[in-house]
Amino acid sequence: MIALNSVHKIFNKGKASAVTAINNLSLNINSGEFVIIIGANGSGKTTLLNLVAGSIYADEGTIQIGGNDVTRMADHQRSKWVARVFQNPLSGTAPDLSIIDNFRLAAIRTKHKRFSVGVNADFREKVKEHITTLGMGLENKLEQPMGTLSGGQRQALTLLMSVMDSCKVLLLDEPTAALDPRSAEVVMRTADKLIHDFNLTAILITHNLKDAFQYGTRLIQMNEGNTLRDISAEDKKALTQNDIFNWFS
Ligand SMILES: Nc1ncnc2c1ncn2[C@@H]1O[C@H](COP(=O)(O)OP(=O)(O)OP(=O)(O)O)[C@@H](O)[C@H]1O
């Protein structure tokens, strides 16, 4: 589903401040995989996600998504396949608009449904149904402004919004970093469920090694712009949480 072939990314190329953020990285992620990426600060995790999302371009190498060469494709063109959720629960939603209007906006952004989404009762019902599955009781608050919700509720809705529009790839860049432990747990469980229910291919960056242990079907540790460890679902079963902690000591 996602294929990086010998990808290289240098920031500030040719200057004294040049940094090799991604170093000749080749990586194949199969459809339906939920890949967790861990690694020290500066190891290239966010740069990798930026390259897949198209917010930056590789200097060398190629990137394919679903068999399409997206190496030079702008991020908005990739958005039909790729959805992204960031750390900050405030980003990606309009605080003054209601929950349902935020879902309408999200749908309009990525679809050609401009004329039907706004007035379509089916759309409202579909949103309501999906929100019910989150188990947060928000299905009865569709008219409530997004800004009045807690960070965890907002992030769970942002996740749902980003996957409802038939995207295939979900990129999660530390989606729980700004949340308290309980909300973080709810959001991680929500992400896990949505990835499964919507049959997505997902990449999650986290510094939370407990989450790295608990979630995902594949675990990658990055170092200096490449993979240091790449652990399959089968091999991950043999790992303990302590083993993962020890990789950082
Ligand atoms: N826009 C940029 N301009 C210059 N250097 C950059 C830029 N973005 C990233 N870098 C550098 O590239 C390297 C990899 O950064 P990246 O953000 O991908 O690491 P990371 O593993 O996500 O780190 P963290 O865990 O701290 O978020 C770092 O040395 C960083 O300083």
Distance 5 CA to ligand 1 centre (A): 20
pLDDT of residue 121: 81
Nearest atom, ligand 1, residue 47 CA:
18
> Which band of pLDDT confidence, cut at 50, 70 and 90, is reported for residue 113?
very low
User: Is the beta carbon of 17 within 6 A of some atom in ligand 1?
Assistant: no
Separation CA 207–CA 176 (nearest Å) = 10
User: Is the beta carbon of 56 within 6 A of some atom in ligand 1?
Assistant: no
Domain range 2-246, its CATH number among 3.40.50.2000, 3.30.2130.30, 3.40.50.1700, 3.40.50.300:
3.40.50.300
Pocket of ligand 1, candidates 37, 46, 222: which has the most ligand atoms within 8 Å of its Cβ, to mutate? 46
**Of 46, 47, 67, the residue nearest 57 (C-alpha):** 47
pLDDT of residue 18 exceeding 70: yes
Distance 51 CA to ligand 1 centre (A): 12
pLDDT of residue 117: 53
Handedness of CA 82, 233, 205, 163 (dihedral sign): positive
Please give the sequence-ordered ranges of beta strands (E in DSSP) within the chain, or none if there are none.
2-11, 19-29, 34-39, 60-65, 68-69, 82-85, 169-173, 201-205, 218-223, 226-231
Quote the pTM value: 0.92
User: Is the beta carbon of 161 within 6 A of some atom in ligand 1?
Assistant: no
pLDDT of residue 249: 82
pLDDT of residue 79: 84
- Mean pLDDT (the chain, rounded): 91
Nearest atom, ligand 1, residue 12 CA:
4
